[in-house]
Amino acid sequence: MRQGPEIWIRGPVAGAVTAPAPPPQHPAAGTARRFSWVGAHGGAGVTTLAAVYGGHDCGREWPGPAAPPSVLLVARTHAAGLEAVARAVEACRRGQVPPGTALDAVVLVADAPGRLPRPLAQRVRLLGSAVDVHRVPWVPAWRLGDTGGNPPRGTAALARLTGAPMR
């Protein structure tokens, strides 16, 4: 018999084997903290976010030994993206990621302009009860390949987290 969704409870899963947390790395004043951007699914926007906010683009792979162990997990806000990120968060909670890997937050990139439909918004709120979630709005310029300029409006918390300059 299947039990409830353990992912929605903050903290370690009972009986899960977890890797020891790496020692905290505090950047020098004025230095951006280093992150690895990891996509929960193809087309999540990892390369674009790494270009805009800085950090290491891991594609869909967990960070290797040379990459920063702090992970920002990326997904689109469509149903398949939210399901993929929920599975990846659960894998992190269960310690099924490379040793030393630390999930810092989930970054959800809008899959279309406008508001999310209610069922998807509810899934985002549920995900937010398990892990810190940052939302990135639809940016038409990114669709055309223009990643120059400032991070989009409404992402100041993500910019602070990554050390990206907000002008």
144 phi and psi, to 5 degrees?
Answer: -90, 0
Question: Quick one: average pLDDT of 136-144?
Answer: 93
Range list of β-strands (E), the chain: 36-39, 56-57, 70-76, 102-109, 133-136
**Band of residue 167 on the pLDDT scale cut at 50, 70, 90:** low
Residue 6 lies in a domain: no
12 in a domain, yes or no?
Answer: no
Residue 9 falls within a domain, yes or no? no
Residue 107 covered by a domain: yes
CATH of the domain at 50: 3.40.50
**pLDDT of res. 150:** 84
Which domain covers residue 130, as residue numbers? 32-162
Determine the Cα–Cα distance for residues 67 and 40; give it in Å rounded to an integer. Answer: 17
What percent of the chain is predicted at pLDDT more than 70?
Answer: 80
- pLDDT value for 28: 41
**Helix pair angle (118-128, 79-93), 10° resolution:** 10
- Each residue's pLDDT tens digit, 142-163: 989 999 888 999 999 999 999 8
pLDDT of residue 29: 39
Provide the H-helix boundaries in 67-117: 79-93
In a domain, residue 22? The reply is no
Retrieve residue 159's tokens: 């910019």
pLDDT confidence bin for 84, thresholds 50/70/90: very high
Count: domains in the chain? 1
In this structure, the number of other CB atoms found within 10 A of the CB of residue 121 comes to 12
Looking at the predicted structure, is the pLDDT value of residue 6 above 70?
no
Residue 88 placed within a domain: yes
Is residue 24 in a domain? no
- DSSP state, 7? G
Judge whether 106 and 134 are in contact, CB under 8 Å.
yes
